[in-house]
Amino acid sequence: MPGAKNAVETCLSVRPGEHVALIADEASRSVAASIAAAIEDRHAQYTGLLLEDFGPRPMTAAPPEVLQALETVDVGAMCMTPQPGELSARMAIVRVVERRQIRYAHMVGVTPEIMQQGMRADYRMVDRLSDKLRERMLRAQTLTVKTEAGTSFAAHFDRGLDWVKTSGLISPRYWSNLPAGEVFTTPATVDGTFVCDASAGDHFNGKYGDLQTTPLVLKIEGARLTGVDCARKDLEEEFWQYCHTDENSDRVGELAFGTNLGLSEMIGILLQDEKFPGVHIAFGDPYGSQTHADWKSKTHVDVLTRNCDVWIDEDQVISKGHYQLDHLGLA
């Protein structure tokens, strides 16, 4: 309940009398129940929508009943566990949110553990850190990321594309994942090696879990995936095929800082772990409605690495997964 109250009161700023569309699936029923209780505590109304009521999973398309509900509410929240092939349905839901510009929390993969950890963060402090990083990156030339596991890459940026802050304080302009804590853009170039020794996104997280013992070693040239190596050849092949679904599935569409200072360790669940202090990337769709990138993809898969060392130009701002807050004016 403390995490649910944080989501409803601090992140979504639900006000008395507002109407919330609360979308959930069976796997996330207990989390949705806590969100519903927190909405009622705010003297607001909600419409509950259980995805399994509208057809079989995985969803091949967003249920019309869900899309219609989002057309009339003030606020939306979706608590669900993703299944393979559902990304297009989730993107259709998000398109309604963006067109209507309602406050919206996207809680895909949320668990009770996450509610008790990442959702209890001080989101106002997360917001201050996110602001500082965004200000720095808008004028940065180069971002360098290294880890002891073998990650070593450099990224450069297009000044015409935006750095987007999703710090947990949700506005009508930008919906957000919860738990929150990211600052991201679409990079112009990424070159080097990325070792995914934590989690991978979309359905890979649920299927393969934490990849610490069988990491994906990803070679990237000119922001395109050029090679995958993994001890698990089934994962290696599936990841390569996924990243060649369409002409941009192999392109780095997102480079992001995790800024949730309330997290002390990764738990193997991407929704929370991508907010852990560090830098991660994603191949596929660049969230162009937010970053202003002018290309698209039907896929989007995050990959995470552990214990990053990160430099903005020559200034090291993260050491072994810990922010050097004095370097960002936040000591």
As given in the structure block, the two tokens for residue 101 are 């510009």
Contact 191, 222 (CB under 8 A): yes
Measured CA to CA, the distance from residue 105 to residue 178 in angstroms comes to: 6
Q: Indicate the pTM of the whole model.
A: 0.86
Residue 309 CA to residue 318 CA, distance in Å, equals 5
Mean pLDDT calculated for residue range 166-188: 93
Residue 197 pLDDT more than 90?
yes
**What is the pLDDT at residue 118?**
93
Cα→Cα distances 207→203, 235, 244, 247, 327, Å? 6, 10, 19, 25, 39
Mean pLDDT over 71-99 rounds to 95
Nearest C-alpha neighbor of 221 from the set 199, 189, 197, 249: 189
Mean pLDDT on 14-34 = 98
Q: How far apart are CA 283 and CA 301, in angstroms?
A: 5
What is the rounded distance in angstroms from the CA atom of residue 283 to the CA atom of residue 255?
9
Q: Check: CB of residue 192 under 8 Å from CB of residue 220.
A: yes
DSSP 226-266: EEEE-S-HHHHHHHHHHTTSSTTTTBEEEEEEE--TT--S-
DSSP state letters, 180-211: --EEEE--SEEEEEEEE-S-B-TTHHHHH---
Q: Residue 247, exposed/middle/buried by CB under 10 A (0-12, 13-18, 19+)? A: exposed
Q: What is the mean pLDDT of the chain?
A: 96
Report DSSP state, residue 156.
Answer: E
Q: Which residues contact 282 (CB under 8 A, 6 or more apart)?
A: 201, 252, 253, 254, 256, 300, 301, 302, 303
**How many residues does the structure list for the chain?**
331
Question: Is it the case that residue 331 has pLDDT exceeding 90?
Answer: no
- In 3D, which of 257, 228, 263 has the Cα closest to residue 318? 257
Encoded tokens for 283: 């191949």
**Secondary structure class of 306 (helix, strand, coil):** coil
For the segment 203-231, the average pLDDT, to the nearest whole number, is: 96
Amino acid of residue 85? G
Q: Across the strands, what pairs with 228?
A: 218
Give me the residue label for tokens 């606020």: 75
Structure tokens at 208: 């393969």
Summarize pLDDT for 142-167 with one digit per residue, the tens. Answer: 999 999 999 999 999 999 999 999 99
Q: Give tens-digit pLDDT for 242-285.
A: 999 999 999 999 999 999 999 999 999 898 999 999 999 999 99
